[in-house]
Chain A
């Protein structure tokens, strides 16, 4: 397997993914949904992972969190804070997950326990992982609920999840995830199910508190607007592979990969001139299948050439920018 990131760079980063792949066994076969992804993340940095359905973006997070379905399996390395998340025994992984690695999901209702009061659920992490006495943990939970602007926090802490609106539940999730001041927050489409004005609130809040606690974020999203709002860097994923990666600012103003360019062009805008037809990417996102030797985007790509039968490696094309496409000549 190609080694795409020199091992020497890995120690200065909070998280280094090295050839991370995720496979699912089924029938007599195997489907690869994440294919040799290498990425790094610095402390406090906000990285967006952008992709459509089937790009493997959520499975990548699940693999880091040790939450893959029972027929799933992750290979490669994920060095987090000096430990490889993929080879940690469950007990050690539990310690990491409670103390320095948290995750929030698109649907907060699936992550909250419907039978337990919000305050108790929040306090749990502090009691188990930081050994706080119950009363102190509850007080801290209530302070955090207030911090995420849940009105009347001490009373809200005594309520059950179903008593909150969708936006409030997502704020409760954020409070829960950031209460232990983790070093890294994994956020899987956290605002996709919310109304736009509530989405803006939740994104603001997530970023504010992460800055306070020094937490780094990996945000998985399909929305380039959300990336622009909170991300420092962005990686575009297609068919389980990174197509392009770089600082959010230059990636969104000057994307190089035909897929990244297509995504940006198809995103409807509020200010751009209205054209009779919206630009489109023909075809549909790739779903499942075995690992390909070719570029997974080739069947939809208008710049396809014979060389695309072999997936190009991700290589440097400028300051902090990496691209996996035959189009761009090497500098």
Chain B
């Protein structure tokens, strides 16, 4: 099966304009990332703020052009498409955002918001067809069709995120990039939205990229998990293997830091937090990206950057001191 989404040695960065004495330069944010996603599968991307996970999401949408490497949509490279072909192909890639209300134009009714992708990707549709598709999309995300006449400010956060999802699925995409889709929602609503995404995946064979800082949420929805630190993949593994044992000390530290509603377990974790902060992505350390905070760091870690290596059963890790899993 052809993966619906691939990244090969993808490096993405931003240009920093020069000044009177400073030369313009390019700051790489995401470096040498490899991804392969099959239909119906979810890749969870986990990392802390500034690790490049949102930039990676936008690069996978080809909203940012890569500095090096390539993105492939069902085997096709968007960089080699003519503008017209690229525009048509964008229908297969959709994105939903963290702040669901900010992602919707406040002056448009939901009917207009939802019909915009159809106007772009399927301009041949009649007005009635568009209305039917809008009603269908609303129902699919659990909203009644009479929401079509409403405006974004009339929605709760959970309803607004459902509208964001309806807008993403209305053009029948193959992949949805979900950029922190539940972290702004109340706990009782988060679970509803995660369930909805999983239902839609099963019905439509969607592939999802689920970007989140929350390892507990990622665990429920993902088939594969990728941990990023300062723009690089430090670990990638099938879900169950990853949660059973993390190869990279940063991945282990992230999991350890998630507070769980279990008093006995949490009391034991008191005072065990990892000291320090990650260095700025503008000044990455010469060695391992995690060396400044890693409890196991040795001299080697501060001078030589460990490469991402395979450890069997689809597992990869980038640490000098990984013991091969049994």
Given A195-B48, A197-B254, A270-B260, is A53 in contact with B186 using a C-beta cutoff of 8 Å?
yes
Q: Determine, out of A100-108, A275-283, A304-312, the stretch whose residues face the partner at the interface.
A: A275-283
B223 to chain A minimum Cβ distance, whole angstroms, is: 11
Given A229-B259, A277-B198, is A262 in contact with B48 using a C-beta cutoff of 8 Å?
no
Contact call A281/B188, Cβ cutoff below 8 A: yes
- Chain B contact-residue range equals 35 or more
Q: With a CB–CB cut-off of 8 A, which chain B residues contact A267?
A: 187, 216, 261
Contact call B261/A199, Cβ cutoff below 8 A: no
Q: With a CB–CB cut-off of 8 A, which chain B residues contact A268?
A: 190-191, 194, 214, 216-217, 219-220
Contact call A269/B259, Cβ cutoff below 8 A: no
Q: Is the interface of A mostly helix, strand, loop or mixed?
A: helix
- A10 at the A/B interface (Cβ < 8 Å)? no
Cα distance A330–B71 in the bound complex, in angstroms = 64
- B255 at the A/B interface (Cβ < 8 Å)? yes
Chain A residue with Cβ nearest B182: A268
- A274 at the A/B interface (Cβ < 8 Å)? yes
Contact call B216/A269, Cβ cutoff below 8 A: yes
**Which one, A149, A229, A269, A285, contacts B186 given CB within 8 A?**
A285
Given A270-B215, A280-B188, A285-B186, is A200 in contact with B195 using a C-beta cutoff of 8 Å?
no
Contact call B263/A249, Cβ cutoff below 8 A: yes
Contact call A280/B191, Cβ cutoff below 8 A: yes
Chain A residue with Cβ nearest B198: A277
Q: Determine, out of A22-30, A203-211, A316-324, the stretch whose residues face the partner at the interface.
A: A203-211
Q: Determine, out of A32-40, A59-67, A78-86, A219-227, the stretch whose residues face the partner at the interface.
A: A219-227
Contact call A204/B273, Cβ cutoff below 8 A: yes
- B269 at the A/B interface (Cβ < 8 Å)? yes
Q: With a CB–CB cut-off of 8 A, which chain A residues contact B188?
A: 52, 262-263, 266, 280-281, 285
Contact call B270/A229, Cβ cutoff below 8 A: yes
Given A263-B187, A280-B191, is A167 in contact with B156 using a C-beta cutoff of 8 Å?
no
- A287 at the A/B interface (Cβ < 8 Å)? yes
- A8 at the A/B interface (Cβ < 8 Å)? no
**Which one, A222, A230, A284, contacts B159 given CB within 8 A?**
A284
Q: With a CB–CB cut-off of 8 A, which chain B residues contact A99?
A: none
Given A195-B48, A267-B261, is A284 in contact with B198 using a C-beta cutoff of 8 Å?
no
Q: With a CB–CB cut-off of 8 A, which chain A residues contact B20?
A: none
Given A201-B275, A229-B269, A278-B194, is A264 in contact with B159 using a C-beta cutoff of 8 Å?
no
Residue among A207, A208, A277 with max Cβ neighbours from chain B (10 Å): A277
Chain A residue with Cβ nearest B239: A274
Cα distance A285–B217 in the bound complex, in angstroms = 20
Contact call A197/B191, Cβ cutoff below 8 A: no
- B83 at the A/B interface (Cβ < 8 Å)? no
**Which one, A201, A207, A228, contacts B261 given CB within 8 A?**
A228
Contact call B265/A266, Cβ cutoff below 8 A: no
Chain A residue with Cβ nearest B265: A228
A residues 171-218 touching B (CB-CB < 8 Å): 195-201, 203-204, 207-208
Q: Is the interface of B mostly helix, strand, loop or mixed?
A: helix
- A70 at the A/B interface (Cβ < 8 Å)? no
Contact call A280/B195, Cβ cutoff below 8 A: yes
Q: With a CB–CB cut-off of 8 A, which chain A residues contact B191?
A: 266, 268, 278-281
A256 to chain B minimum Cβ distance, whole angstroms, is: 15
Contact call B260/A269, Cβ cutoff below 8 A: yes
**Which one, A199, A253, A271, A281, contacts B259 given CB within 8 A?**
A199
Chain B residue with Cβ nearest A274: B220
Contact call A271/B190, Cβ cutoff below 8 A: no
Chain A residue with Cβ nearest B243: A270
A residues 223-254 touching B (CB-CB < 8 Å): 223-230, 248-249, 252-253
Contact call B186/A222, Cβ cutoff below 8 A: yes
Contact call B187/A266, Cβ cutoff below 8 A: yes
Q: With a CB–CB cut-off of 8 A, which chain A residues contact B255?
A: 270
**Which one, B49, B187, B217, B269, contacts A195 given CB within 8 A?**
B49
- B271 at the A/B interface (Cβ < 8 Å)? yes
Contact with A along B146-167 (1 / 0, CB 8 A): 0000000000111100000000
Q: With a CB–CB cut-off of 8 A, which chain A residues contact B261?
A: 224-225, 227-228, 252, 264, 267, 269
- A165 at the A/B interface (Cβ < 8 Å)? yes
Contact call B263/A270, Cβ cutoff below 8 A: no
- B262 at the A/B interface (Cβ < 8 Å)? yes
B212 to chain A minimum Cβ distance, whole angstroms, is: 10
Contact call B259/A226, Cβ cutoff below 8 A: yes
The 9 closest A-B pairs by CB, nearest first: A225-B259, A200-B273, A224-B261, A268-B216, A278-B191, A281-B188, A195-B48, A52-B186, A228-B266
Q: Could you list which residues of chain B lie within 8 angstroms of chain A, going by C-beta atoms? A: 48-49, 156-159, 186-192, 194-195, 198, 213-217, 219-220, 243, 253-266, 269-275, 277, 293
Apart from A168-B277, A203-B273, A280-B192, what are 7 other A-B pairs with CB-CB below 8 Å? A53-B157, A195-B49, A197-B48, A228-B259, A264-B261, A269-B261, A270-B260
Sample 28 A-B pairs with CB under 8 A, ordered by A number: A52-B186, A53-B186, A195-B48, A197-B254, A197-B273, A200-B269, A200-B273, A204-B270, A204-B271, A204-B272, A223-B187, A224-B187, A225-B261, A228-B262, A229-B259, A253-B262, A263-B188, A264-B261, A266-B187, A266-B191, A268-B217, A269-B216, A270-B215, A274-B219, A278-B191, A282-B192, A284-B158, A284-B189
